[in-house]
A and B are shown apart, each in its own frame.
Chain A
């Protein structure tokens, strides 16, 4: 088992766990955390699979940095909307999901 596979499988596991959290939870904050875990999983897959013995591939590194920034921005936006929603409705979940 190569180290690439270890990284990638960890990433896959994180993605799966995050996905479960994203679907199973109702609290928006938990879902956002789950989203971030999924994101980390994807990044890990991206980085992990790039180590295939031909030297270090820097392109996925740059992609992951871009991905992280995008994830940060999305999370921030989600938090902004979530806190506004909480302020307006007093709820931590979305209305139809009870």
Chain B
């Protein structure tokens, strides 16, 4: 065991110990936030508290979180253009997978739609639905199914941007009566949140699919990849 491993282990033990102590010794908070959440629920426009926190009370966090997702795609796109890859040769030529996909795809879409819809009154929501959508996209890709709209760069980017743009647009539009950013009027709150969730689902799904598609194809032999690049490390 090298010195580095030992010191890392000691460090981690110390951190874990300190954390365990901190957790054990924790005083209970005086502030009762759950109570406040419960009290504000009628004004939130949705029935499920997590969704209310995510898309109303702390919707600004969610807005920035979507920006983080978008960032990952932007970097992937930039690197893809800077380091062009070989033409795609992805996809397993497996008839069984294709056959299953035909059955699975509608099911996945229904599940995604349900998760989105369920979000307003029980666990679920845009991110969960978006992830399921993304899974469908990844499966399609693995099955070698190419669809025109997934390969259309412009359409793809528009889809990526849609969620964040809608979110921002709604946040700014509701300010017109003279209230702060992201203050939904009570009577429209439910609708607006649903609209945002819908577009977010689509964008999150597309984001995750893009991230999968934009990574360079697997090269068995890195030397070969280097030669192709004409670069040395």
Kindly provide the distance from the CB of A11 to the nearest chain B CB, expressed in whole angstroms. 8
Query: For the complex, is B79 an interface residue (Cβ under 8 Å from A)?
Result: yes
Complex CA distance for A63 and B37, rounded to whole angstroms: 14
Complex CA distance for A8 and B20, rounded to whole angstroms: 8
Known: A20-B9, A24-B8. A59 touches B34 (CB 8 A): yes
Contacts of A56 in B (CB 8 A): 34
Complex CA distance for A74 and B32, rounded to whole angstroms: 32
Prevailing SS type, chain B contact patch: helix
Query: For the complex, is B87 an interface residue (Cβ under 8 Å from A)?
Result: no
Task: Assess the B28–A23 pair: CB atoms within 8 A.
Answer: no
Query: For the complex, is A29 an interface residue (Cβ under 8 Å from B)?
Result: no
Task: Assess the A87–B83 pair: CB atoms within 8 A.
Answer: yes
Query: For the complex, is B172 an interface residue (Cβ under 8 Å from A)?
Result: no
Query: For the complex, is A19 an interface residue (Cβ under 8 Å from B)?
Result: yes
Kindly provide the distance from the CB of A7 to the nearest chain B CB, expressed in whole angstroms. 10
Complex CA distance for A40 and B37, rounded to whole angstroms: 25
Task: Assess the A15–B19 pair: CB atoms within 8 A.
Answer: yes
Prevailing SS type, chain A contact patch: helix
Pick the contact of A90 from B5, B28, B65, B233 — CB < 8 Å? B233
Known: A61-B53, A73-B72, A81-B75. A66 touches B65 (CB 8 A): yes
Task: Assess the B8–A45 pair: CB atoms within 8 A.
Answer: no
A-binding segment of B103-111, B162-170, B181-189, B211-219: B211-219
Kindly provide the distance from the CB of A85 to the nearest chain B CB, expressed in whole angstroms. 9
Complex CA distance for A16 and B23, rounded to whole angstroms: 14
A-contacting residues, B141-173, CB 8 Å: none
Task: Assess the A58–B9 pair: CB atoms within 8 A.
Answer: no
A-binding segment of B54-62, B93-101, B191-199: B54-62
Task: Assess the A12–B20 pair: CB atoms within 8 A.
Answer: yes
Size range of the chain A interface in the assembly? 35 or more
Kindly provide the distance from the CB of B10 to the nearest chain A CB, expressed in whole angstroms. 10
Task: Assess the A90–B12 pair: CB atoms within 8 A.
Answer: no
B-contacting residues, A30-81, CB 8 Å: 45, 49, 52, 54-59, 61-63, 65-66, 68-70, 72-74, 76-77, 79-81
Known: A23-B8, A24-B8, A88-B226. A12 touches B75 (CB 8 A): no
Query: For the complex, is B175 an interface residue (Cβ under 8 Å from A)?
Result: no
Q: Closest 7 interchain pairs by CB?
A: A90-B222, A16-B16, A89-B233, A62-B53, A58-B49, A20-B12, A23-B8
Q: Which residues does A use to contact B, with CB under 8 Å?
A: 5, 8-9, 12-13, 15-17, 19-20, 23-24, 45, 49, 52, 54-59, 61-63, 65-66, 68-70, 72-74, 76-77, 79-81, 83-84, 86-91, 95
List 11 other contacts, CB 8 Å, given A15-B16, A62-B54: A12-B16, A15-B19, A23-B4, A49-B26, A59-B33, A62-B53, A65-B127, A69-B127, A73-B71, A86-B222, A91-B233
